[in-house]
């Protein structure tokens, strides 16, 4: 296995969950003596320097968001695969899968591993987003036989457009980063970590905060992240007179201290896969309030956190402030699970076993 190179193709290197997972995976594979090559098929490159700093060969082969640039990038990846006789290409997310399968047409020996990193492949054909989801599902269904393995986070992700024998490999984080004491903020602090865009649904917190203020609760919310809706959300917060309650902290590479200083983690997302932020909050022993999206209901039990619909978010936030000792007991239970089952070393070993089994075929 150590004499083989694993090529990783990803849709971009923005600071999202899939990208951060790949960084940790490649870093740990390198520690175990396995070389990985990373190719990005998008101009998004915020994490590029992190890959380079960790000694991971990383190439951004698509410089512009054009079809011509995309195919240019595919050609570059194909030449590297052929030159080094690489046996496995691991595609992360949909556009990377398209690139990998085009390469397979010209280099049939390559074995394709695919991780979708999301469960949101259903949709209504009446809207553009839904139509795109349906088209992607059909593409994945038609190309099943061309892939050697699919990776899912949980058995609930099994579907007729992924391989029947898809491998279950949950996401993982470096739990050791979160094992340090730190004092909590004096004001009860909710924290929400993630890119500021539609899917993360930050705007739903504005009416909730206004109602909690009316009911006399003392608290603050820290929003850590950036994204396409950052400025719009900032204006909404100001317009509603909530700048003293909701603090937009922007993107931070190291969020450990922010998590450890907070009291409760919020995730009001409309959809997810298996968000790393949930695992990071768990490792930080933070009580979690989240919507029941993606595989979250499968990994957080009622004894480990609060998995509730958006309609119950406000009442659950009140409950954690009023019953914080109970919330901490749930957080302690989930922290143990994260350390035992979702550490990056566990995830890395599972990937190694899968890669080795494919090479031996």
In this structure, what CATH number is given to the domain that contains residue 218? 3.40.50.2000
* Residue 162 domain boundaries: 5-172+343-360
Assess whether 35 and 47 both reside in one domain.
Answer: yes
Assess whether 77 and 189 both reside in one domain.
Answer: no
Tens-of-pLDDT digits for all 361 residues of the chain? 667 899 999 999 998 899 999 999 999 999 999 999 999 999 989 999 999 999 999 999 999 989 999 999 999 999 999 999 999 999 999 999 999 999 999 999 999 999 999 876 544 333 345 457 788 899 999 999 999 999 999 998 988 899 999 999 999 999 999 988 888 999 999 999 999 999 999 999 999 999 999 999 999 999 999 999 999 999 999 999 999 999 999 999 889 999 999 999 999 999 998 999 999 999 999 999 999 999 999 999 999 999 999 999 999 999 999 999 999 999 999 999 999 999 999 999 999 999 999 998 7
CA distance 27 to 9: 15
| Number of domains within the chain | 2
Length of the chain: 361
Given this model, what pLDDT does residue 134 score?
Answer: 83
Cα-atom radius of gyration of the chain, to the nearest Å? 21
CA distance 117 to 234: 29
Assess whether 235 and 333 both reside in one domain.
Answer: yes
Pick from 86, 111, 113, 144: nearest CA to 25: 113
Assess whether 167 and 187 both reside in one domain.
Answer: no
Assess whether 256 and 147 both reside in one domain.
Answer: no
Given this model, what pLDDT does residue 30 score?
Answer: 94
Given this model, what pLDDT does residue 131 score?
Answer: 53
CA distance 350 to 189: 36
Assess whether 129 and 197 both reside in one domain.
Answer: no
Cross-strand pairs, 208: none
CA distance 280 to 193: 10
Assess whether 103 and 123 both reside in one domain.
Answer: yes
pTM exceeding the 0.85 threshold for the entire prediction: yes
CB 282, CB 250: distance < 8 Å: no
Secondary structure of the chain in HEC code, one letter for each residue: CCCCEEEEEECCCCCCHHHHHHHHHHHHHHHCCCEEEEEECCCCCCCHHHHHHCCCEEEECCCCCCHHHHHHHHHHHHHHHHHHCCCEEEEECHHHHHHHHHHHHHCCCCEEEEECCCCCCCCCCCCHHHHHHHHHHHHHHHCHHHCCEEEECCHHHCCCCCCCCCEECCCCECHHHHCCCCCCCCCCEEEEECCCCHHHCHHHHHHHHHHHHHCCCCCEEEEECCCCCHHHHHHHHHHCCCCCCEEEEECCCCCHHHHHHCCEEEECCCCCCCCHHHHHHHHCCCCEEECCCCCHHHHCCCCCCEECCHHHHHHHHHHHHHCHHHHHHHHHHHHHHHHHHCEHHHHHHHHHHHHHHHHHC
Assess whether 182 and 327 both reside in one domain.
Answer: yes
CB 123, CB 132: distance < 8 Å: yes
Assess whether 347 and 337 both reside in one domain.
Answer: no
Given this model, what pLDDT does residue 2 score?
Answer: 65
Assess whether 38 and 142 both reside in one domain.
Answer: yes
Assess whether 13 and 126 both reside in one domain.
Answer: yes
Assess whether 188 and 304 both reside in one domain.
Answer: yes
Given this model, what pLDDT does residue 128 score?
Answer: 43
């Amino acid at each position: 296995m150590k004499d083989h190179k694993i090529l990783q193709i990803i849709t971009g290197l923005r600071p999202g969950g899939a990208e951060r997972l790949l960084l940790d995976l490649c870093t740990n594979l390198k520690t175990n003596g396995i070389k990985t090559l990373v190719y990005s098929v998008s101009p998004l490159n915020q994490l590029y320097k992190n890959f380079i700093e960790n000694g991971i060969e990383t190439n951004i082969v698509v410089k512009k968001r054009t079809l011509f640039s995309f195919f240019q990038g595919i050609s570059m990846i194909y030449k590297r695969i052929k030159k080094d006789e690489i046996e496995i290409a691991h595609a992360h997310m949909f556009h990377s899968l398209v690139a990998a399968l085009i390469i397979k047409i010209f280099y049939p020996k390559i074995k394709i591993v695919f991780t979708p990193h999301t469960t949101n492949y259903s949709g209504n054909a009446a809207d553009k987003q839904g139509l795109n989801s349906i088209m992607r599902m059909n593409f994945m269904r038609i190309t099943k036989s061309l892939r050697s393995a699919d990776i899912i986070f949980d058995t609930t992700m099994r579907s007729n457009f992924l391989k029947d024998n898809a491998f279950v490999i949950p996401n993982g984080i470096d739990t050791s980063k979160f094992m340090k004491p730190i004092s909590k903020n004096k004001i009860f602090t909710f924290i929400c970590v993630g890119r500021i865009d539609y899917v993360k649904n930050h705007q739903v917190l504005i009416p909730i905060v206004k109602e909690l203020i009316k009911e006399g609760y003392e608290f603050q919310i820290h929003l850590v992240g950036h994204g396409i809706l950052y400025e719009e959300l900032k204006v909404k917060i100001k317009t509603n007179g909530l700048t003293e309650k909701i603090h937009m902290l922007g993107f931070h590479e190291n969020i450990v201290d922010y998590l450890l200083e907070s009291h409760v983690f919020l995730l009001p997302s409309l959809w997810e896969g298996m968000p790393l932020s949930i695992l990071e909050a768990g490792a930080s022993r933070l009580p979690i309030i989240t919507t029941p999206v993606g595989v979250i209901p499968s990994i957080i039990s009622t004894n480990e956190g609060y998995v509730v619909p958006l309609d119950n978010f406000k009442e659950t936030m009140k409950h954690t402030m009023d019953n914080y000792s109970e919330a901490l007991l749930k957080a302690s239970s989930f922290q143990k699970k994260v350390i035992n089952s979702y550490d990056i070393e566990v995830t890395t070993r599972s990937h190694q076993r899968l890669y080795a089994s494919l090479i031996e075929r």
